[in-house]
Amino acid sequence: LGDRVGAFEGWLSERWTEGNWHTRRGAIACSLGMLGLRWCEVERSELGDHDPTAGLLYVRTGKRGAPRTIEGPGVLLQAALDMRAEVCSTSERVFLTRPGRPMVYGDNRRFVERATVAVFGQAFSFHCFRHTAAVRVWERTKDVLAVQRFLGHKSLQWTNTYLRSIRVVDVGGPV
């Protein structure tokens, strides 16, 4: 699956600046999901949360309100800001519909399905991207607590559900 995940990320990054506005928006949103963001964090991200120069995305609107900082390619964060600049809106949100209303999951669901079918041969949900990011943090650190902090989870048991696919150590012992 690792090679196909890399191919998927390449497929998405090719579309950050190419194609129509909806394709660019969808690819950028999916790429942020691959960095571990929840859908609600993508749709609520604001202009001031993206720092392309530092390669940082400030997540201030997490599920339980716990802010965290995600590292990401500056070119991705800049692409999000460039795409957003094409919409005339007074909203601070980055991800908007073409008329300038805040975007919701339904506005991107078809893109996620088409993109994952194109690369993986089957449809995956946006949330699967977050699981992929969790596994990557585990593979890089071998530290369940680092994964927990990265995901913004309060419970280590909840974090372990993200890592079951690779049979990591459970809170109560080996899986």
Instruction: Say if residue 67's pLDDT is above 90.
Output: no
φ, ψ of residue 133 to 5 degrees: the values are -65, -40
**Contact at 8 Å (CB) between 49 and 62?**
no
Half-sphere exposure of residue 108, counting CA atoms within 13 Å on the CB side?
29
**pLDDT value of position 174:** 43
Share of the chain above pLDDT 70, in %: 91
What tokens appear for 151 in the block?
């995901």
The reported pTM is 0.88
Half-sphere exposure of residue 133, counting CA atoms within 13 Å on the CB side?
24
Average pLDDT over every residue of 139-155: 89
Banded pLDDT at 170 (limits 50, 70, 90):
very low
